[in-house]
Every structure is written in structure tokens, then in C-alpha cells.
Chains A and B, each alone.
Chain A
Amino acid sequence: MNNSTEIRGQGSENRGQGSEIGPGAGEAVAAPAERQQGSGRRSKSLLGMFLRDLEVLTSGLGGRGSGKADAGNSHAGDPGSGIFFKAFLGLFLRDLRVLLREFHVFLARVGMQPLLFLFVFTFILPRMGGGNLMATGGGVDFGTILLPGLMAVAIMFSGIASVALPLSQEFGVTREIDDRVMCPLPLWAVALEKVCFSAMQSIIAALLVIPMAYYVPAAPVRVHVANWFLLALVLVLSSLLTGSLGLVIGSTVNPRQIGLVFSILVVPITFLGCVYYPWANLGRSGLVWIQVGVLFNPIVYMSEGLRASVTPGITHMPWWAILSALVFFTAALGRWGLKGFLGRVLS
């Protein structure tokens, strides 16, 4: 009986101390990691973890392929990097199975918005004889302006819908993420798989807009791909960017507020993302403050990048500015999203 009172006494002492010297709640997540890694902030430990995993990966490459499933006989010295790739592939195949099972739903989800947009603005409105409803300048048809923008929007929405929505659900409600987090691959790779799979969906969504733009508008859309390499690069970077943005939203926003994110974040950055007008036209119209302000909006570079690669006849930003901005935003959002993801799955 004495035992018990002793223990209880200590417990309350500990709690007493904590309230005096305990740091703020904000540091709670970082604290264990710091102690674990010895020194440095969470960001350092993040990088350290990354390098360590890469080391294991590369060191295992030359060794025996130990991707065999019977884990029972392997020991500490046997890193078995093959299993990382197989696990990654497994996660990808799982997502593919789920996507293909409801592929028609996917098509409807990503196709409806650009289809309606093209239908209303390039088919119905021109026939109403309103003349120049959307002033484009330079006599270019609105459909040609719109195509790259709609591709950017498709990438954007697909990225959010395929990462942010499910992730937010899995973290907050179903906790399905637990199973995937227990896979034999580093946690950052689990997040990377999400982003990569979302990128694949985004690219499909963007390419889907092209045939629509051929058939729907009343006036022909002038598409001319001068540089396929640039198009591929912009598509891939943009898709990874929105996947990363999805990761940020999915791991930081709770599922009940996800609708709010759409109205206060996704819709504004889309409308101010130079989707419906070239960036250069903002300056020509004397709206320089908007032109400068939207430079912080990653969607601008997606729209302009696609404009540069699909409809190069329309004025667009220089390719080097577009690519560096896309790389910068992808890296920044990716890092932020990964941090959020790790914060959610590791305590």
C-alpha cells in the first residue's frame, strides 16, 4: 500500500514542476525530435532523416536484393533497400486501383469545370453577339487565352482533391493513414507517394482540357507546342506543386474546415492566378499593383508556364522566371507539407 502513495506523490510532483518550467505548447512537437537528434531544430532533423534514409538506400543498392517478404531472418545489418521501392510501388498500385475503380467519377470531377467554362465563355457568350465580352487585346480569341489557364485550374483542383481531401479525412476521421504509415519505407516517402500520385492525376486532368478546347469553342483555339520539353517540365512541376499544396492543406486543416479552405484559399488564388488573362495584360491595363501582388501566387506561374508552352503566341513571362518560380514554390510547399505530415504521424 505504501508503494502506491509514493508513486502517486511523485506523479503530482512532476506535474507541479511542469507547469513552472514547461515550455509553451507550440514547442511540444519539436521537443522530442530535438532530444532525439541531439541538437538542432526540427528542420535539421528532417534533413538528417532524409540523408540517413538515402544513405541506407544507396548502400543497399550494391548489396544483395533483400526484398524478400520473410522479414523474420533479416537483422539490423541488412538494410534491404529494395523493399523501399517495392513498398512505394505497392502504395502507388493501391492508389491506382482505387482511382481506376471509379475512373468515371474522376473524369467527371476534373472535366466538368473546364467543360462548362469553355461552353459558356467560348460557345454561348460569343453567339449572344455581345461582341468583345472578355477583352483580350491583340485580337486573340478568348478560347486561346483560356486554354492554358483552364489547364492550370484543372491541375490545381485535381491536386487539392486527390491529396488534401483524402488526407484530411484520413488524419482526422478514419485514421486509415496508420496502415500506410506502418509500411516499411521512410515516412517522407509515404508523403512523396501521395504527391506523385496526385501529380499523375493532375497531368491527366490538364491533358483532358486540350481536346475539349478543340471541340467546344465556337472559334478555333490556336494551340502550338513549340517546345515539348518545356511543356513536360511545366506540367510535371505544376502538378508536383499543387500536390505539395494539397499535402500542406491536408495535414494542417481539420476535415470540418476543408470547405472553408476552398472558399478562402483555393478560389481566390485561382481567380487571381492569371487564369483568365495573361499576366502582362495586367500591366498594360494600368493595374500594376495587382500585377506585382499576384507574383506571390504560385498559380500565376502555372498559367503562364502553360501559356508559354501551349499558346506561345500570347504574351507570357520568360521561361526562366516561370521555371525558377515553380521550382521555388514546389520546394517551399513540399517542405512545409512534409513537416506537417510528419507532425501528424509522428508524436
Chain B
Amino acid sequence: MIPLIVEIEALTKVYETKLRVVAVDGIDLELNQGEIFGLLGPNGAGKTTTISIATTRTLPTSGTVRIAGIDVVKHPAHARRHIGVVPQFNTLDRSLTVYENLYFHCRYFGFSHAQARARAMELLSQFLLTERKDVYPAQLSGGLAQRVQIARAIAHRPTVLFLDEPSAGLDPQSRMAMWGAVQELRKEGITVLLTTHYMEEADSLSDRLAILDYGRVLALGPPEKLKATLGAHTVFDLKLKTHEGLDALAAALKARPDVAGAEVTADGLRVFAASSDGLLPELVHVAAAHGLLDLKITEPSLETVFIQLTGRDLRE
């Protein structure tokens, strides 16, 4: 049997501030050894809070998280030995060089001087950072700093690596390099939990993913499966000038065999279809009567899965 590396059970987190905020609302997740698992959702969906709880930085309101069988609330210090974290922000030690960042991280985790030095050198060459080993973090570009952060996070050979929005603020080239680095981790057998609000990132990196919204898991499974079962639709977003009689139009469209669904939105109309063949001219034609201002077509993707599940665009 493949052991479970991360077990999240009935996890909730309520912030009792003036405004009661339910950040995590009953999440159950299980991660298997060696998989790359994505948490996909818009800002405020509860992704970062979930990661914070799992990495011992936030106390849950209820529920449990076990990392390699260790309860993170009862034994945070021991759980941390199994955890590697790449946070959203650059938290590299600015008083230390790149090499020293890696070296001292190893020392924190009980490596001897010789072990720490060997591991730091190994990571420098693995992440192509050897030339920059004596540079201070302030002199690094965003992409390079992120690379050092990943190297540092896996330096103590954690069982699971948490990546919180790893590509936030990275240029496309650095993002590709980061994806490559994460995929390389597969070889080391590290389990990866990453959060993202980039569809492509979730799609191309994760073996399985959970779509989160308002602190709940809306869907869970491999990206291909999610796309196949939930979002095999092309989404047409029509921006219309007049909104009268749209309900009737939506009903009429729904009756068509090639239309899976239609709904009235704030801007106009949203139509879900199995394919765009033949439907597009028809749509333009009927929409013309309502003053068609704009038309957006989204091909089947995790984006459409998300729209299907939440009725919203991820970027809204």
C-alpha cells in the first residue's frame, strides 16, 4: 500500500475578528507518496490558510492535519522535520550568502558541518547556482531567489514540500524554469503540495488537484478527469447592451441539443456548449438583437471547469 503523506481531516479555520471570516470550511484531503498535488482557487479561497495550518504556522479551529503520521498541532516541532516550505514571499536570510543560506538551513535540521557543506554544494550544482554561491539574496533576481528558496526548502530532505503560489511575481521564463525544478523533484520522491491560481500551472504540474472556493473543496481528481467530467464545454461570454428578454433567450438556447447550458450574467449571457462548430454564427445572430458588445470564447480547460463549478471567472 502506498503510504499517505499528508492527511487533512475536516479542517476548519474561522477568524473571529470583527467580521467573522470562515477561511477554511471543512476540507478533507489525502496526499500519496510522491505525487504533485495542486490546490487551485481564486484569492481568498483558503489555499494559503490550509498550507499555513499544515506547515504549523496557523492553528486550526477544528480538524486535524497529519504529516507523515505526525499531528502538526500536537507535535509541531517534529512535524517540521518532514516539511519543506517555499512561501509566497522571499524569506531568504539577507545577512547570509546563497551558500550560507543552504548551509545553515541544513545545520538547523541537525546536519553536521561536513554534511551541511556537502548538501549545500550538491544543491548549488543541482539548481545551477554554483556561480552565485557567494552572492547575497538582495542581489538576486526574482527567479533566482525563488530557485534558492526551493533548494533551501528541500535541503533537509523533507517528506513533503509546500509551494505557496510559487510563480507569483515571476517572469514567464523563470516560471518555466521553476516548473522544471518542481518536476525534477519527482525523481527524488518528494511529495509536493502547491497552491496556485494559474490554470496552466495547476494543469501542467499536478498529478491530482483540488479546486477550492470559499474554503471548501468543490472538485478533486486528476486534471484530465476533471476536464472530462466537469468542464468539457466551450464557454461563450456575451456582453450585451440591453438585458431585456434574456431569460427567454437563455431558455430557448438551452433547448438546443448542442447547448449544455445558458445563464444570465451581470454583463449579458453565458452559454456552455459541447463545441463551437455551428453555434457561433447562430449566437452572434441572436445576440445582435440585444446589442452585442463583446464576445469571449473559452476553450475547454480547467478555467471552464472552474466557471462551471462556481459561476465565476477565476480572475474575477
Contact = CB atoms under 8 A, between A and B. Distances in A.
B115 interface: yes
B108 A90 contact: yes
B20 A3 contact: no
A11 B104 CA distance: 44
A344 B105 CA distance: 22
B57 interface: yes
A112 interface: no
Contact of B93 (A56, A93, A176, A186): A176
B197 interface: no
Nearest to A49: B76
B104 A97 contact: yes
A7 B70 contact: no
A4 interface: yes
B49 to A, nearest CB: 9
Contacts of B73: 36
A347 B57 contact: yes
Interface string A52-92: 01001000000000011111101110011011101101110
A347 B73 CA distance: 12
A1 B94 contact: no
B20 A22 contact: yes
Interface string A175-193: 1111111111111000000
A76 B69 contact: yes
A90 B107 contact: yes
Interface residues of B, number: 67
Interface size class of A (residues with CB under 8 A): 35 or more
Contacts of B106: 69
A37 to B, nearest CB: 9
Contacts of A346: 57-59
A97 B108 CA distance: 14
Contacts of A67: 110
B136 to A, nearest CB: 11
Interface in B70-91: 70-71, 73, 75-78, 80-83, 85, 87, 89, 91
B127 interface: no
Interface string B91-130: 1111110001000111111110001000100000000000
Interface string A5-45: 10110110011011101111101100111011000000000
B169 interface: no
A69 B80 CA distance: 12
A contact patch SS: helix
B179 interface: no
Given A4-B312, A71-B159, A83-B110, A35 B105 contact: no
Nearest to B190: A72
A70 B157 contact: yes
A69 B91 contact: no
B267 to A, nearest CB: 16
A176 B94 contact: yes
Contacts of A80: 78, 81
Contacts of B15: 28
Contact of B104 (A17, A93, A177): A93
A101 B162 CA distance: 33
Q: Which of A24, A28, A69, A185 has the most CB of B within 10 A?
A: A69
B214 interface: yes
B19 A75 contact: no
A80 B58 CA distance: 23
Nearest to B138: A174
Given A15-B19, A69-B110, A176-B94, A347 B104 contact: no
Interface in A124-161: none
Given A3-B218, A76-B71, A186-B76, A178 B157 contact: no
B263 interface: yes
B263 A1 contact: yes
A82 B110 contact: yes
B77 A97 contact: no
Given A18-B19, A184-B81, A7 B214 contact: yes
Interface of A: 1, 3-5, 7-8, 10-11, 14-15, 17-19, 21-25, 27-28, 31-33, 35-36, 53, 56, 67-72, 74-76, 79-80, 82-84, 86-87, 89-91, 93-94, 97-98, 174-187, 345-347
Sorted nearest first, the 10 A-B pairs with minimum C-beta distance are: A18-B20, A90-B107, A4-B311, A71-B81, A86-B110, A90-B108, A178-B91, A32-B59, A183-B108, A184-B81
22 contacts: A7-B216, A18-B20, A19-B20, A22-B17, A25-B18, A32-B58, A32-B61, A33-B59, A35-B61, A69-B119, A74-B81, A75-B70, A82-B110, A83-B109, A83-B110, A87-B108, A94-B100, A98-B95, A178-B85, A182-B85, A184-B77, A347-B59
